[in-house]
Structure 1
Amino acid sequence: MALFGKKKSDDTAEAPAEDAQQPVADPAKAAPFFDRAGTVHETSNYEYAVTLWLQGLARDPTSVPGLEGLADSAQALIATRNKFGPTKDQEKAARDIKAPAPVRRLILALLNWSTRPLDVSAGLKALEAAGKIPGVDTAKCAYWIGQRVLSAAARDPKIKKDALVRMMNVLKDAGAFDLAVRAGEAALGLDPSDRQLDAEVRNLSAQATMSTGGYEHTGEEGGFRANIRDAEAQRALEEQDRIVKTEDVVERVVANAKADYESRPDDPAAIRKYARALLERGTPADEKTAHDLLIGAYERTKEYAFRQAAGDIKLRQARRKLALLRAAAESGDAQAKDQFAKAARAVLKMEAEEYADRVKNYPTDLALKFELGKRYFELGRLEDAIEMFQAARREPKRRAECLAYLGEAFLRLGWQTEAIDTLREALAAHTNEQDEIGRGLRYALMSALEGQARESRDLAAAEEAAKIASGIAVEQLSFRDIREKRTVLQGLVKELRAESAA
């Protein structure tokens, strides 16, 4: 049997020189990444959360809670994007992780599989990679992966016998004999005439019977001892992993999460899982229970991620009430419009306070500063917004958007020169001047140039502003008030030309 931890010569041969060090499992080094991943997940930044879980697993590839967190964030990302597979940024981040070659191969395989959870081939690659990390006992993780890959195979109507036999062999090598038997039996179901396979499955069944314990004793004689054979427990695992859940499934998921929480009420993973299950069901009583659960966890542990998740619930409730007021306001009722405007500002203030608290607790998180900057901008707190956007623009992904907000903020403050310089930089960073964002940036630059032209009687600025207005009008005449702006700027150019000729 190929045991976990047995060193393979080809692993060493493929590893780059800088990755030649012996793999190790270091839970202490992984913990900050896992904690951060949980926090980021609660902000709905699932793409970055996936990367953080992977960074933690690179430091501790034996962590089952790390795998569980990765699966949760990846599943949420899939639901948000309505698309399977990793993003380009995630692929690059995973390739850039510094780790021994066998661990890097596992991380890349986990990224591919977690974002394609129904892809049996991707799951098998992750399972195989888990078995090829020398000196590290990844058996628990392999079993966890194996359960889910087997569940995906059972739901795949196009599954081939060869894939099931491959799965059987990988699971056998992992010592997960009970799962290997199930894979083998499924393969036999597709080809009952294969006598050799039948004999191998019977042998595996005997080995599974002789394994009398659970995988908490991995490394001791007997292999995995306490394997999850119970059909109800397996169904619970499968239902938890489903992207779309029926009402009865949601009820069972909540019940299972609650039972898990009650069995280990101080475990952060159990608290998060129970809260997420409650929010997925989403009744008012569920939201209150989840909020109280998270606040209680924060007060006991002082782990800010719980406080942040509780804040998200309050924001969600406030936005939902605002949506109802918006619907009434759109009916044309003047009183409803006034109520909506007041409520919208109150929600905006609430969001600003919430994000300010998060920035205080996570001062290096540029994404939070960007979100706080947007709220300050909408509230008219322009100098506070500028401070946030100037910090947040260090993040490459948001640089163009931050520069756009900065330019608009300078423009509203009447700082024409700063607005013009910043908006030119934003346009250079955005690259596509003709999409909606590009047109918005050009419109803002046009306005800043108009302001400079009027203030300084600057003909060149007026001519550039008029040229931008004409360009936008040619592309999309209905864009904002560009038709009127074009006429006004043409008049300003004539006026300034007359002045210069006088």
Structure 2
Amino acid sequence: IYLVVSEKNRKEVPPQAREYFEKGLAALRKDNLDYATKLFEQALRREPGFFECREALRLNQFKRVSKKKSLFRMFGKTTSSSLLPKGQLALKKNPIEAINVAEQILNDDPYSVMGNKLLAEASSLAGFSKTAVFSWDLVMKQQSDDKFTIMNYCKALAANGEVAKAEKVCGDLAKTYPRDQEVLQLSKNLTASLTLSEGGYDKVASGEADYRAVLKDEDEAVLLEQENRRSEQESTAERLVVEYEQKLEGDPSNLKIIRSLAELYCRLKQFDRSVEYYERFNLTNLRSDAAIDRAIVDTRLKKYDWQIAQVDQDNAAQLKEERNAFEMEQIQLLSNTYPSDLALRYDLGLLQLAAGEITPAIQSFQRAQANPHREIPSLMNIGRCFAKRGMNDMAASTLQKALDKKEVMDDEKLELHYELGCVLSAMKRHDESIEQFKAIYEKNIGYRDVAERVDAYYENLS
């Protein structure tokens, strides 16, 4: 459940804050924008949670910028970039101070992504949920496809009580990132929050409602319990196994049923039985299939993982060694069997790199580059291989080549900037190195140790 903290309206703020606000509105109507800015700022200093005043200040900022476009283009970015580190440092200690710094940035550039992000993050920490949503809304208009922006926007919506909207937005994001655990967990949490709020369970938890008033009767309670249990238990898979095996008796060459049975047995942790059905698929198909052969390997790896979870620490260590050796051997074999499958070759390169087999890894990644979906990650890993060899100049040029191919600042580009920054740092090219970390800092201050690196850089300058 998310905590919702309300901000103050015009009637709730201190009289002096209200007086400054009303004078600011009068100045805004007369297009006396600089004076209006000062009045709104005075009101917000006396009551930082005065949301209506902050909205008026933002409108005033947009009007000022539209009248001073040339001046804004010349100086706005410099002012913003110089204030941002100060705001980020304040964020850790005093969210209200960080809010004030963010407003200074937005006075010069109300469209500033970093300024609005700083304001949103500080507002969330201060409990100003409306301001946080208001700020993330402005960021979303410029970064509507950015994963981190969307996740933070959803959290802000939920904190402001807009759980249904947050759940819908995050659900759409989960379709774009179906394997991203952070996104899936957030989506799951929001769905649970929505269920609780719509069903009235949040009121039950807080003592505002009676359980039986929420669940209309005991039958509904039983049905709800069964529905929840159904998603967690294996009964559905067991029922489908019986059903599909009966169908297979009448249609023994049905590849779709055979594959479904293999997948179901794997879900039931009957891994050997699962492998039998995958092998039957290949025999029935009269030829080997790369996807099926990979599924066989993955199923055996899942068996290893399951066994590792069941044994003590000493036996687990031995099983992990066996598992790693098995995976390397099998992926190498599959890669040789299906040389045109460059996704397999890329996976082999990852295993080789993890095992410290640098030369074979470079060869694998160089071949995998021909797959357009693996080109950039292959270049990044080639750069890592060169760096491990101490070939930092080659690592830097390879990582820069990968960066040049990236147009969107996503997770992959953040990682490339970080890797290049580390390589340049190792080469004692510190000014170039810090530029890579600053690019990340502007996007995601929480990325690895970037905040510490950039903060230390600015502290050394002062």
Question: TM class, shorter-chain normalised?
Answer: 0.3 to 0.5
Q: TM-score, normalised by structure 1?
A: 0.40
Q: TM-score, normalised by structure 2?
A: 0.43
